[in-house]
Amino acid sequence: MPHTVEWKVRLHLFEDDEGMTKARVVVNTGTTALTGHGAAHCHPADMNVPEIGDELAAGRAMHDLAQQLVNAAERDIEGVGAPRPSTRQVAGWPL
């Protein structure tokens, strides 16, 4: 049976008073919402390139959100009585 849904994802980037770039990414599934957070700051010896801070903060927020989604899926799988899956895979081809 085919299954299609649309989840809304919003990414917010902002810089605080100390120059730290912060990111918040929210996924709304229609029934629940999860929020990931990330941050980045420029080392004083490095050239200030705001786009790099945005990319790092956003990537870290998305990574946080991704881990929350995997954890939620694992809890849901256990909740229906199935054994806990091996969702902790690394990138690349299986051995």
Banded model confidence at residue 81, pLDDT cuts 50, 70, 90: confident
Residue 31 lies in a domain: yes
pLDDT of residue 90: 54
Please state the pTM of the whole predicted model: 0.81
For residue 10, give the H/E element and its range.
strand 8-15
**Structural domain tally of the chain?**
1
Going by C-alpha positions, the residue among 46, 50, 59 that lies closest to residue 20 is 50
pLDDT at 83 over 80: no
Banded model confidence at residue 57, pLDDT cuts 50, 70, 90: very high
Banded model confidence at residue 95, pLDDT cuts 50, 70, 90: very low
Percent of the chain with pLDDT over 70: 86
When pLDDT is averaged across residues 17-38 and rounded to a whole number, the result is 95
- CATH code where residue 46 lies: 3.30.160.240
When pLDDT is averaged across residues 28-37 and rounded to a whole number, the result is 95
- What b-and-e string marks burial along 6-36, b requiring 16 or more CB atoms within 10 Å of the CB? eeeeebebeeeeeeebbbbbebeeeeeebeb
pLDDT of residue 79: 85
Residue 13 lies in a domain: yes
- Domain residues for the domain of 23 are 8-79
